[in-house]
Amino acid sequence: MKYAPLLASLLVLAACGGCSRQAPEKQLPPLQDEPKPASKSAPARAEKPANWPVIVAYGDSLSAGFGAPTGESYPDFLQQELDAAGYHYRVVNAGISGDTTAGGLARLDTVLELKPKIAILELGGNDGLRGLPLATTRESLEKMITGLEGAGVKVVLAGMTLPPNYGPDYIRGFGQIYVDLAARYKLTRIPFLLEGVATNKKLMQGDGIHPTSEGNRVVAKTVLRYLLPLLK
């Protein structure tokens, strides 16, 4: 896998509880469950008209902008990109640090209350890092996809990858979930959300897991590239 060698030291947060795969000897602290620090210097974002259609960033800490100053998550930068291009959409950040696909599914109704036109579904990374059963991850993602599409929401599915210590079979199966679901439901799929970011230390925070503000800016441009064909 193209990114796995470099991500091996970047993404390992949790051991495989109760599974046969060998966990890494040295683990990073569970940073995804800590609150994101606020920034006193973060610029205020102007409110968008209530009648503008909503794009919801439905994910975990990568969407929430963990560790970056307030107002500098990838959804914030995506809003700036849309504004600059003249697209009248409101980007709503529905990212929760530490969330798994089960957690995301549990709050599907809350996301649907936003009445989004488009959802950027970025979940599953924490499932993989915790070694959760692939069938569980697939089922939860599929239920979110069908729930969103059933409400008339267009879904953009953002994929992730795993470090090699989780074993080739698990890694292959994990990545295939996104490929299969995107094909089955004819979704726009972002192969790897952190394309061009995860392998650049200057764009990653010290924890080696989350992008810096500049990294989030790159992620926003990646997302926009896949999002543009869906915009009116």
Domain that holds residue 119: 4-11+50-230
Please, what's the b/e burial string for 73-109 (b: 16 or more CB within 10 A of its CB; e: otherwise)? bbbbbbbebbeeeebebbbbbbbbbbbbbbebbeebe
pLDDT tens series, the chain, 232 aa: 444 444 443 443 333 333 333 333 333 333 344 334 333 334 445 688 988 999 999 999 999 999 999 999 999 999 999 999 999 999 999 999 999 999 999 999 999 999 999 999 999 999 999 999 999 999 999 999 999 999 999 999 999 988 888 899 999 999 999 999 999 999 999 999 999 999 999 999 998 889 999 999 999 999 999 999 999 7
Helix axes 74-85, 213-227, angle to 10 degrees: 50
- 20 within domain boundaries: no
Chain position carrying tokens 């959409």: 89
- 63 within domain boundaries: yes
- 36 within domain boundaries: no
- 41 within domain boundaries: no
- 124 within domain boundaries: yes
Supply the pLDDT for residue 45: 56
- Report whether 39 contacts 56 (CB < 8 A): no
Number of domains within the chain:
1
* Structural tokens at position 170: 């698990």
Say how far apart CA 98 and CA 121 lie, in whole Å: 15
- 37 within domain boundaries: no
With a CB cutoff of 8 Å and minimum separation 6, the contacts of 48 are 79, 88, 89, 90
3-state secondary structure (DSSP) of residue 61: helix
Supply the pLDDT for residue 10: 40
User: What are the backbone dihedrals phi and psi of residue 49, each rounded to the nearest 5 degrees, phi first?
Assistant: -55, 140
Residues acting as catalytic residues? 61, 207, 210
- 94 within domain boundaries: yes
Residue 101's identity, in one-letter code, is: T
Supply the pLDDT for residue 28: 31
- 42 within domain boundaries: no
Residue 84 sits in a domain whose CATH number is: 3.40.50.1110
Query: Exposed, middle or buried by CB within 10 Å (0-12, 13-18, 19+), for 2?
Result: exposed
